[in-house]
Amino acid sequence: DPRGTYTCETDGKESSPLQVHYRMCQNCIEVDAPTISGIVVADVVATIFLAVAVYCITGQDKGRMSRGEGRAPLAARRWGW
């Protein structure tokens, strides 16, 4: 583990301390601004595409009548109302 405080010593003189922070991560991925913006743009495009697809699929059912549409209620037919 290379973390810690280090000093250099030459000819009996000691330098000011240097603190080292080292992050040991095997699965870390460095992400820069263009990568993040690409992910955001792709997410927005995918969301819009999905919304349009759902709108088109559900919009096709508007012209169809359901089974009970256009018929008189059962009680009204039976009693002549």
pLDDT in tens, 3-38: 788 888 888 888 888 888 776 677 777 789 999 999
Let me know how many helices (H) and strands (E) the chain has, helices first: 2, 4
Q: What is the DSSP letter of 60?
A: G
pLDDT in tens, 35-48: 999 999 999 999 99
User: By the 8 A CB rule, do 20 and 6 touch?
Assistant: yes
pTM: 0.42
Q: Rounded to an integer, what distance in angstroms lies between the CA atom of residue 19 and that of residue 5?
A: 4
| Predicted confidence (pLDDT) at residue 49 exceeds the cutoff of 90 | yes
Q: Where are the domains of the chain?
A: 17-62
Q: What is the mean pLDDT of the chain?
A: 79
What's the distance, CA 74 to chain centroid?
A: 50
Q: Rounded to an integer, what distance in angstroms lies between the CA atom of residue 24 and that of residue 2?
A: 9
